[in-house]
Amino acid sequence: MKRIKLLLVPVVTAVALTAGSARADFNIGYYTHDTCVNWSDPNTRVDPINFVFFQWGTIARVENQLYTHAGANGYYWYDHDGGTQYFISHSSCNVQYYQFADGGVLSSRDHFREYPIHSDSTLGYTMITDAHRDELVWCGKPNHAIKPNGSYAGIGNGSGFDYGQWQLYRMFYGQVNHSTYQIWFGNTQVMRQCNGWMASDNGYAQMMQAHQVNH
């Protein structure tokens, strides 16, 4: 399901991860895109990248630990339906690898797509994702939209992008061997939703360690 087309506003993107960090191999774009044609055009941006699994963020380990730890905390990602989006890695455009949601396309749901990045000398294997909360809305037909900034008081008056990141993070509560911290990506571009809502991410990505052991 194709959800939105963004509103173009001039903001800074593609900022450094941290001042003085030597992470040249972690070379990503900070949004998903609705096409690989002219993907450098900001109008193709859809969702901010706001969650990164690192160290052992391989396809198999991320999916295994997601099912195991999320399930232990009562969350279940069983639906893999949704529109196709594209990720930027090392200045190339690539189709998403997989997507997870806790509900179908005709429901409101927590949802994210993922794309694996090859090993980095500092971060190890990384998996980048675009976590968000889809709200089922009517835009001439059933569609999904992201709630605007100020919608979720419990997470600092964030948007549906911020809420989706929070939901993915909290699924690992109480689970061992998952170090986590936040880092500034600066991807705060405002996205106009199909129903007129205006939503943006807070610009911070959640870094979550994936450990080597499968369950």
pTM of the entire structure? 0.86
The pLDDT score that the predictor gives to residue 22 is 35
The pLDDT score that the predictor gives to residue 176 is 60
The pLDDT score that the predictor gives to residue 142 is 95
Residues of the chain with pLDDT under 50: 1-2, 4-24
Q: List Cα–Cα distances, 165 to 122, 142, 158, 198, 212, in angstroms.
A: 23, 24, 10, 18, 23
Q: CA Rg, the chain, in Å?
A: 16
The pLDDT score that the predictor gives to residue 184 is 97
The pLDDT score that the predictor gives to residue 170 is 85
The pLDDT score that the predictor gives to residue 108 is 96
The pLDDT score that the predictor gives to residue 179 is 84
Per residue in 189-198, pLDDT (tens digit) is: 999 999 999 9
